[in-house]
Amino acid sequence: MGVELARLHARVNGLVQGVGFRYFVLEAAHRLGVAGWVRNLPDRQVEVVAEGDRARLEGLLAALQQGPPGSRVREVDSEWLSPTGEFQGFRITH
C-alpha cells in the first residue's frame, strides 16, 4: 500500500481566535509533516488548507476538532479535495 495524497480544506467555528489556535495548528502540521496554511477569517472562524498523506491529514483534522487549551471548538466543516502540490511547508497567513 502506498501513500494516499489528499488536500484538506477546513473551517473551524467556536472560540478559536485570540487563543493561540493558529500556532497550535502550525505546530500540529509541522509534527505531522503536512504542508499548507492557516488563517483567521473576519467572521471569527479559522480556515485551514493542508496537503499531504491522507492519514496524516486525518490526524490534523482530529487536532482541529480538539483545539488548544483555552479554545472551544463548536464545529469543524471540512472537505477532501485533490492535492495540487502547490505548498512548500506550512505557514500562518492572512
CATH code (residue 44)? 3.30.70.100
Q: Is 40 a catalytic residue?
A: yes
Tell me if 91 is assigned to some domain: no
Q: How far is CA 43 from the centre of its chain?
A: 17
Asked if the model's pLDDT at residue 1 lies above 80, the reply is no
Tell me if 23 is assigned to some domain: yes
**Active-site entry in 22, 31, 44, 72:** 22
What's the pTM?
A: 0.95
Tell me if 92 is assigned to some domain: no
Number of domains in the chain: 1
> What is the share, in percent, of the chain residues with pLDDT greater than 70?
99
Which alpha helices (H) appear in the chain, and where do they start and end?
Answer: 21-32, 54-66
**Active-site entry in 39, 40, 54, 91:** 40
Report residue 43: phi and psi, to 5°. -85, 15
Q: Is 13 a catalytic residue?
A: no
Tell me if 88 is assigned to some domain: no
Q: How far apart are CA 62 and CA 73, in angstroms?
A: 11
Tell me if 59 is assigned to some domain: yes
Residue 15's domain comprises: 5-83
